[in-house]
Chains A and B, each alone.
Chain A
Amino acid sequence: MSDAHISVRNLRASHGPKEVLHGLSLSIPRGGIYGIIGPAGSAKTTFLTCLNRTLQLVPRASSVGEVSLNGIPVSNFEINDLRRRVAMVLPLPVGLPMSIYDNVAFAPRMVGMHNKGELDALVERCLTQAALWDEVKDRLDQLGTKLSGGQQQRLTLARALSTEPEVLCLDEFSIAIDPVTTMRIESVLVELKSEMTIVLVTNLLAQARRIADRTAFFLNGNLVEEGPTEELFVAPTDPRTHDYIHGKFG
């Protein structure tokens, strides 16, 4: 691929002595939704944490290999800058124990944005992008933790967008929320994909098929195959991919 946004070469990662990601290479093109599927334990989460270097927060975890963003190794970025560029939405929604407004204004304030008008505009934009604005615009000062699970997941998304990331990673975002919210977030992602690269780890094959432009299949810490989503689902080249998408294991 000529315009890889993220390129990963020979990435190995271990939890303690146990290697869980075995020399994986992959290019994620700029823009669009890049789906990652695979059974539990195939190191999808570990892979994501290598992209914004949150892996190093996990006790005893380590990685070697090259991960680069726009051709620059992620290890060359200032760590907090990297994490603002590569945003992460975790499986379980996390409303931080502060107001809805403060949840979204948290990251911008950290980088010194204090102008009320600017913050207001940004909060409104992020909440609108996350399809939450209409539901909360009259109670922005309410605690974020008091929202429903589905709303909190959209709040989490709004917060991830508040750093104006170039890459948005989502790790099984729909695992704890209702189908309606899942569909709303899916359509949000489809709208956002023209503005940023989205890496979508999902346990729902149908979700990858619905919205991912390309999809990669991970198995036991290896990349089995990847390609345009429709091709991968209709005509996988590897029999293991075929088995997985037809529910034979995992």
Chain B
Amino acid sequence: MSIHRRTRPAASVYAEKAIEVVIHLCGYSAILFIIAIFGFIGREGIGFLSTHIVGMFTQTSWNPTHDPADFGILALLAGTFWCVGLSLLISVPIGLGSAVYLSEFAPERTREILKIVVELLAAIPSVVWGFIGVMIVNPMLQALGAQVGLNGLNGAIVLALMTLPLLVSLGEDALRAVPDSYRQAATAMGATRWEMVWRVLMPAARRGLLVAVLLGVGRAVGETMAVLMATGNSVRIPTSVYDPVRTLTATIAAELGEAVRGGEHYQALFGLGVILFIITFFVNLIAEWTLRGNRST
């Protein structure tokens, strides 16, 4: 019988079908997980949110175990955005600066080595960063005059270090995606290297750079362990960089263990989870939209 006339054994045909189904399931599982997670957090948290939402967004004091309890999250939100905002002030200039250096100035060898180092940095676990906050940044800030070394600035520094690898590698990708013809055109007109970077490459890559920053924000908002260890965990609206603060994530992590399962406090923490979920969801959504826009131009 000629090879062309042979048909596959039935088992192999079914196996093929089965593999196809499994692969489809893997693909959809991401969506399933997202829905399941939101469902789980939402089931515990949405009921609470619907009855307490006004109080949560108008009060600053968070005293879930007092009688009567306070569930104001303004201070927690402020703590989160304070740390994230401060960390961006540190990580964006340094991260994008490194990205520019890696993509435009570094010799080939240096670039390869630095990229490996940056990736190693990304692999350091959160708790180790928290440790660095407590053991290294803490005394440094005290030496600089902070009364408490565990504070918003400490959290921001740790968050900045944690988001740097993401900013550097995504930023570098964005810059390297700019066509070489732009570089040549700018240089041929007598632009110095720095003028070329600042006036041509950065604008050309601005969407990619923005996405890098947004994903960094998403990462920083959701970061828990390190900020729990580094920020000092005091519920307040910060007025100085040396004020200890408390973030949404740290609150959940610190209190969930003590909250009575199913109780009001427990549900309130899930409510925080829902809010956190919504914040990071929107940050990522904006990043995704920005990326889309990039493709269409």
Q: Interface on A for B, CB 8 Å cutoff?
A: 52, 54, 57, 80-84, 87-88, 90, 92, 94, 96-98, 106-107, 110-111, 145, 156, 159-160, 162-163
Contact = CB atoms under 8 A, between A and B. Distances in A.
A28 B204 CA distance: 37
B181 interface: yes
B191 A110 contact: yes
Interface string B164-185: 0000000000000001011011
B199 interface: yes
Interface in B202-228: 203-204
Contacts of B204: 96-97
Contacts of A81: 190
B182 A94 contact: yes
Size category of the B interface is: 10 to 19
B223 to A, nearest CB: 34
Contact of A159 (B181, B187, B189, B192): B189
Contacts of B203: 97-98
A90 B185 contact: yes
Given A90-B181, A97-B182, A83 B199 contact: no
A162 B192 CA distance: 16
B189 A54 contact: no
Interface centre among B186, B187, B189, B192 (most CB of A within 10 A): B189
B189 A94 contact: no
B188 interface: yes
A83 B182 contact: no
A160 B188 CA distance: 8
A81 B189 CA distance: 9
B200 interface: yes
B20 interface: no
Contact of A54 (B184, B199, B297): B184
A96 B184 contact: no
